[in-house]
Structure 1
Amino acid sequence: MSADAKPYPPRDLIGYGNRRPSGRWQNGARLAINVVVNYEEGSERSFAMGDGDQEPMTEWGSYAFPADIRNMAMESMYEYGSRVGVWRILEALDAAAVPSTFFACALAFEQNPDVARAVVNNGHEVCSHGYRWEEVFRLTREQEKHHIDLAVASFEKTCGKRPVGWYCRYGASIHTRELISEEGGFLYDSDAYNDDIPFFVDVKGQSRLVLPYTCDVNDIRFWNSPGLIQAEDFFQYMKESFEVLYAEAAQGPRMLSIGLHPRMVGRPGRIRALKRFFDYAGQYSDVWFTTREAIALDWLARQGSADA
């Protein structure tokens, strides 16, 4: 390694391999399901927020737009999520008695405190998705640390308590795990897509918990393939993922993450896919709909177990 090379963390291509943990979750469940609601609306890049560029992805896919023209259509599509979509999702979660985790951007909650109050009052977990919906790998280490501090302070104000989980937009920087470890108040991060169950990583001699997230069981498909992905496709993909993981969970605990966005699945023609899945998975008595914080606490308790 040259003297000016960056100290990249090592990769782990092995993981648990064929030595995956056995047993069940502590409450006896074999499969844990965590519904994640990405609440980013109001913190995305836009000229309205004073940014130098704008979000390229819309309901129409990545739509080319003149660099110096304010994209009013894009802004209104994001506004739908905070004005309508998030309330539709909250109603669906409440009707099914499903606790979820909100990957929330602090600034988004600041701009819509009614949503922040509803999320907390309805018993959902708030995991920090950053101060803004930004690409932290573009920040310096000092800037990223400052934004972490801003986010924690903001959530304490809007939610009445700090978050214990962290998740970056489009992946962490090489500094993120060190910074949240140094901050001291986080139980876990979800900046990985490489497993179906939690695992530990070493961060400067400390064992840190990672709860992997999902890119595939995710309603972003509606915007990535506009007009091609229908609500039925999303329901079937959730159902297929559930059935495979549930079968595998006979050998040991498994975790299913479902990624949602208010501006995407919160549309009338899509929300029933989510409701149908809640009805379907809710028929199983040994399935645990829960928050990431609860999963983290369960996995941390396994450290002293023979199954850990």
Structure 2
Amino acid sequence: MKDRRTFLKQASLVGLAGLLPTTTLLAGDFKAETLASDKDSVTRWADGSRLVVSLSMQFEAGGQPVNAESPFPQNMQKGFVDLPGKTWYQYGYKEGIPRMLDNWDKLGVKVTSHMVGSAVLKNPALAKEIVERGHEAAAHGMDWATQYSMPYETEKKFIRDGADAIKKITGFEPVGYNANWLRRGTNTLEILQELGFKYHIDDLSRDEPFLVKVKGTDFAVVPYTIRCNDIVLIEGKNFSADQFARQVIMEFDQLYRESEKKRRQMSVSFHDRIGGTPQMVAATTEIISYMQRHKGVSFRRKDEIAQMAYEDKNIIRE
């Protein structure tokens, strides 16, 4: 495994100038394998990658409403606080994210952290640490409010307040957005463009990035996932960590086969209080280590993927 300084030097040789810091992990020397890939197959990624993997780390805990959904029965009487449910969320910032951050460093990958503004304000040191360790801070609303029903100006303030909280605490200006449960409204993309955002992820329609027109101007879509998402599989379907790992690896194998002839992006999503548990971090290590044994696989932050989409003359446009 190359150290970060060596990688950055290599990366500059393969056309990554202008992108934000990234970590690419292949099964050997990046430059040599890129050349081999050019001979053996058709790559559709401008940086020479065969398959790009995008990892999400949701930073939501601390920003949830009182008596938010948890693994406990949703039968609290009105006027009382679900105290054990509250501690389930606290695990996300006390144990989950710190454990995942250490694991990302061990594995040598950088991720995109979708941050709820109120969660950032409650745990500013942790939010700042995420950015300081090289990860992207993306906006995820100010809180868990339902934004698709908001009037235009109300939604605009909601999005702006969340992004401003992130910038104030971390110094990182978010360019990507994720709505609560992906449920954006009919005005959301126009608002995001007006506020200076570059991409959103609330789309499940493709396994590769693409551009859409918003008021006549390109806007990037970096597709998200619910198939490889811990809140859906672990909490929603009661998968074990082994089952989660198996499903994600099966998805990777299929996309890797397809990537021989076309541009493919794989997304995997982890939530602070779920993906940061010991068993899930162990499963994540197994998953990513498996991917890293395949030639031409790179791990990109979503802001980097969006930038590549804007610069690619062959990108899909809708």
Structure 1 length-normalised TM? 0.85
In structure 2, what is the equivalent of residue 135 of structure 1? 146
Q: C-alpha offsets along residues 174-205 of structure 1, whole Å, 9 cap, x if unaligned?
A: 1100111111x211111111111111222222
Alignment of 1:140-289 (within 5 A): 140-170=151-181, 171-183=183-195, 185-220=196-231, 221-225=233-237, 228-289=238-299
**Is 2:52 aligned against 1:32?**
yes
Q: What do the CA deviations read for 1:136-178 (whole angstroms, capped 9, x no partner)?
A: 1132222111112212221221111210101101210111001
CA distance in 2, matches of 1:223, 1:39: 17
Cα distance in structure 2, aligned partners of 1:58 and 1:162: 31
1:301 aligns with 2:281: no
Structure with the larger helix share? 2
What is the letter of the counterpart of residue 44 of structure 1? Answer: Q
Q: Tell me the distance in 2 between the aligned counterparts of 1:155 and 1:300.
A: 24
Letter in 1 for 2:191: L
Question: Secondary structure in 2 aligned to 1:269?
Answer: helix
Aligned counterpart, 2:24: none
Q: Which moved more, 1:93-102 or 1:142-151?
A: 142-151
Q: Shift of the alpha carbon at 1:44? A: 0.8
The alpha-carbon deviation at position 307 of structure 1 amounts to: 8.3
Name 1:112's counterpart in structure 2. 123
What is the CA deviation profile of residues 50-69 of structure 1, one whole-angstrom value per residue up to 9, with x for unaligned ones?
xxxx31x2124x63322332
User: Are the counterparts in 2 of residues 23 and 307 from structure 1 also a CA contact under 8 Å?
Assistant: no
| Counterpart contact for 1:163–1:186, Cα < 8 Å | yes
Cα shift readout 1:12-56 (whole Å, capped 9, x = no counterpart): xxxxxxxxxx7421221111001100110111111xxxxxxx31x
SS in 2 for 1:33: strand
Q: CA deviation at 1:297?
A: 0.8
Cα pair 1:214 1:259 within 8 Å, conserved: yes
The CA distance in 2 between the partners of 1:35 and 1:281, in whole Å, is 12
State the AA in 2 paired with 1:240. Answer: M
Cα deviations by residue, 1:188-245 (Å, 9 ceiling, x for unpaired): 11111111111122222222111110011000121113xx411100100110010011
Unaligned segments of structure 1, at least 5 residues: 1-21, 47-53
C-alpha change, 1:237 and 1:306, in structure 2 (3 Å) is: closer
Aligned residue for 1:58, secondary structure, equals coil
Residue 75 of structure 2 is aligned to residue 64 of structure 1: yes
The letter for the 2-side match of 1:174 is: T
* Pairwise CA RMSD: 1.6
Give the Cα separation in 2 of the matches to 1:45 and 1:266: 21
Sequence identity (%) = 27
Greater alpha carbon shift after TM alignment, 132-141 vs 70-79: 132-141
Structure 2 CA distance for aligned equivalents of residues 212 and 152 of structure 1: 20
TM-score by length of structure 2 reads: 0.82
Deviation of the 1:130 alpha carbon: 1.0
Q: What secondary structure, in the 3-state scheme, does the structure 2 residue paired with 1:259 have?
A: strand
Aligned length, in residue pairs? 274
1:138 and 1:75, CA in 2 relative to 1: closer, same or farther beyond 3 A? farther
CA contact (8 A) 2:210 2:316 kept: no
Distance 2:216 2:80 in 1: 49
Q: Which runs of 5+ in 2 are unaligned?
A: 1-41
Distance of 1:259 and 1:23 partners within structure 2: 25
The separation in 2 between residues aligned to 1:78 and 1:258, in whole angstroms, is 21
Structure 1 stretches of 4+ moved >4 Å? 305-308
Report if the CA contact (8 A) 2:209-2:316 is conserved.
Answer: no
Aligned-partner Cα distance in 1 for 2:75–2:56:
29
SS at match of 1:84: helix
SS in 2 for 1:243: helix
User: Structure 1, residues 99-147: CA drift from partner, whole Å, max 9, x if none?
Assistant: 0000111211111112112111110011101111322113222211111
